Amino acid sequence: MAQQETDEQTQINDGFVVDTEDCEARELAHSERGTVRPITVVGNPVLHRECKDVTEFDDELAKLIDDMFASQKAAEGVGLAANQIGVDLKVFVYDCPDDEGVRHTGVVVNPVLQELPPELRALDESNEGCLSVPTAYAELARPDYAEVHGQDAQGNPVKVRGTGYFARCLQHETDHLYGFLYIDKLSKRDRKDALRQMEEGTPRYETVPNA
């Protein structure tokens, strides 16, 4: 069995995962099994192309997910995509609060961000950062609601939804797996400023030097 029973996300009637229960235990189980890997940074080719679909839901995928949780925790992040540790696969993990302080913890494989109807397209302009652009932050407008469809670690279909900060996380991590960083959505001036912040800062976690 690729994942332990404590890792599974339960689903409610409308098909959305319940990712707010046993968060600490589930995150701890993953991170204790996992190995911390260094974070790739902007300029690394794996971050700038669409990742491959996951087709094998096996122990290797389970190990990757464990390593992603361990790496996310070590870097003090709230979300991490597989290409951020150099793996060219469509997987992201998250351990992120929403604007009400409710913790959400889980994994999405082969995520697809859903198009929102006009009534759900209210924008939230807040600061955003990224482990792959360490020490840099910039304001970026994103919808304050997000819905992602994909699969869990066993290949079962899942749907995840979030509001506020958690919605931003879901959008941010899905973007990663399609080759986009948040700075790609900034104006030229703001992108330049973010890269300057990164150049002047010192990351608090291990990164992979670009060749």
| Residue 55 CB partners (closer than 8 Å, separation 6+) | none
Q: How far apart are CA 3 and CA 65, in angstroms?
A: 10
Verify whether residue 200 is a known catalytic residue: no
Name the catalytic one among 27, 128, 147, 173: 173
The DSSP output letter for 144 is: S
Pick from 148, 124, 133, 134: nearest CA to 182:
133
Residue 125, number of CB atoms within 10 A of its CB = 10
Pick from 173, 171, 147: nearest CA to 160:
147
Q: What six digits make up the tokens of 210? A: 């670009």
| Residue 150 CB partners (closer than 8 Å, separation 6+) | 90, 108, 109, 110, 111, 112, 157, 158, 160
Residue 10, number of CB atoms within 10 A of its CB = 9
Distances (CA, A) of 130 to 9, 16, 20, 50: 26, 26, 23, 18
| Site of tokens 């599974």 | 8
Residues identified as active-site: 173
